[in-house]
């Protein structure tokens, strides 16, 4: 199978499995999405979705958020982990949004990545899901799967993102990054992986990965 055929197979398979794509993090606007994505660092989406309603019932916009203290924010988001750093980031970026952007989330990678605790991946999620700008945020699932599928060398998430953008059509990036995340969770996890259930990897997977899997059987 050529690389072009592999790409076509991945796209068709993911579109068949996920014709409608669930949004992992609950939110109502760019600001609440930004906060939810920030909270999701080293935390499951399920847990974030349990904590954000509590936080957003008190402050779902930057103006109300800065009325809270960092300590108050930290106590609410503690179950998400890294609460000292995340609470500082949430308070700091909310203050900047008020002072520099009239309370609005900037619609550019540059503007987002200048905010405290907002890296390229977080900015990419917000740009794609909140503003519809083509982006390919790479999380652990995408990084793992593109390596397993022999579509990237797995050396860094930066390289994986470059490879994904080079290989997949730009108009599909926003859907594909979510479809791959869901696929990774359901069919190709890091642990408890059952190759027979993994349609894509069993068809186009990297030989070294498949051989390593075979040794565990």
What is the set of active-site residues?
A: 121, 139
Helices 70-77 & 83-101, crossing angle to 10 degrees? Answer: 130
Place of tokens 């027979």: 196
Contact by Cβ (8 Å): 145, 180: yes
Residues in the chain: 217
Cα 19–chain centre separation? 19
Task: Compute the distance between CA of residue 150 and CA of residue 57 in angstroms, rounded to an integer.
Answer: 44
Q: For residue 116, with 0-12 CB atoms within 10 Å meaning exposed, 13-18 middle and 19 or more buried, which class applies?
A: middle
Distances (CA, A) of 159 to 19, 136, 137, 151: 28, 12, 12, 11
Angle, CA 133 vertex, CA 25 and CA 54 arms, to 5°: 20
Sign of CA dihedral 110, 116, 122, 128: negative
**Token couple for 5:** 């055929």
Rounded to 10 degrees, what is the CA torsion of 66, 72, 76, 80?
80
């Amino acid at each position: 199978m050529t690389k072009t055929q592999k790409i076509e197979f991945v796209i068709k398979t993911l579109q068949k499995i996920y014709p409608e794509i669930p949004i992992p993090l609950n939110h109502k606007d760019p600001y609440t999405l930004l906060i939810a994505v920030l909270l999701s660092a080293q935390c499951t989406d399920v847990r974030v979705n349990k904590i954000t309603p509590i936080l957003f019932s008190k402050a779902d916009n930057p103006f109300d958020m800065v009325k809270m203290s960092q300590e108050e924010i930290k106590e609410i988001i503690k179950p998400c982990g890294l609460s000292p750093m995340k609470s500082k980031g949430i308070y700091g970026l909310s203050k900047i949004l008020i002072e520099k952007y009239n309370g609005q989330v900037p619609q550019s990678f540059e503007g987002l990545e200048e905010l405290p605790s907002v890296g390229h991946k977080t900015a990419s999620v917000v740009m794609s899901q909140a503003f519809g700008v083509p982006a390919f945020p790479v999380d652990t699932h995408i990084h793992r799967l593109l390596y397993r599928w022999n579509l990237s060398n797995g050396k860094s998430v930066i390289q994986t993102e470059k490879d994904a953008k080079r290989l997949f059509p730009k108009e599909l990036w926003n859907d594909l990054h979510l479809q791959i995340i869901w696929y990774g969770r359901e069919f190709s996890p890091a642990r408890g992986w059952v190759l027979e259930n993994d349609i894509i990897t069993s068809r186009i997977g990297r030989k070294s990965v498949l051989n390593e899997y075979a040794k565990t059987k």
